[in-house]
Amino acid sequence: MYHIINTILFMRAILPLSIISLSLLLFSCQKESKPKEYVDENEALVEDLKKVSGDSRTYNYDFKILEDPKSEGVNYYAPISIAEGFSSIPKEMKDAIHLPNISDLPFVPGTEQANIVTFWNAFNTLIFEIQISYFENDAEYKADNQDFFIISATQLADNPFIDNPDSEEDPIDLWIEEFNMNGIEGPEEVVLYRKLDLTADLPLFFKNRFPHWSTMYPYYSYNSSKNQIEHTSTGSKMYYAWHDGLIFQIGYKFTDETIDMETVVRQIILGE
């Protein structure tokens, strides 16, 4: 009888402690399972990527569209496969990029990879940039004679190339004059860009790689020893355009100059 009474008293003593422990456990589980809060829901797309350091963003040196921010508030991620890159950007962005057929390139890529960079705009919206790279060699381009093809696409909601026929002060009118787009190429005259028609309403700009000076194409390269994304530039030919909420900058250098790259670029941007 005495043993039974002691057992009852012992159970009464430990029961509150058990209830408290169970409550703490349940609270901890609830806390851990609570969904992570984001400023922008698209932050979830990159939360599993490996974040690394970076020196500055890439942008078009001539037009200077999306020049800022260069460094503050920018997140860089280690290179990933192109498939993983497409799963790490917003759907509307993915739908607006049409990957090239590898057989359309005049070389067999030894490296195919994607770089993701994000930054915040003035409206607290997370902006995505994806760089899709095809390099001839197993290593990234290092200013030798290997071929490369790089597609850079960055979110930009509004068309920066709107041309008002009643105004001569539109940015595009100033760019046409500044870059001598209507000039005649010659020994004493350089046409920096040619203005082509992407669609009836949208331009496609082309910049040649001149023999006497290089057209510098900016791109991201990964320095594994520093665990850093570096802003690199190299000589190339380049196409530049806005379409469907993205600003495209496509650069390439091929040994084979017979490829109709304008057709390839149009397919990438327009999907046709």
DSSP classification of residue 107:
S
pLDDT in tens, 118-139: 999 888 899 999 999 999 886 6
CA distance 25 to 46: 30
**Alpha helices, H only, the chain:** 2-33, 82-86, 91-95, 171-178, 261-270
pLDDT in tens, 203-238: 999 998 765 555 678 899 999 899 999 988 888 899
Please, which residues have CB within 8 angstroms of residue 210's CB and are 6 or more apart in sequence? 190
Total-model pTM: 0.83
Beta strand 216-223 with 228-235: parallel, antiparallel or unpaired? Answer: antiparallel
CA distance 125 to 43: 10
Give strand pairing partners of 149. Answer: 134, 252
Locate the domains of the chain by residue range.
1-34, 41-270
- The torsion defined by the Cα of 24, 25, 28 and 33, in degrees rounded to 10, comes to -140
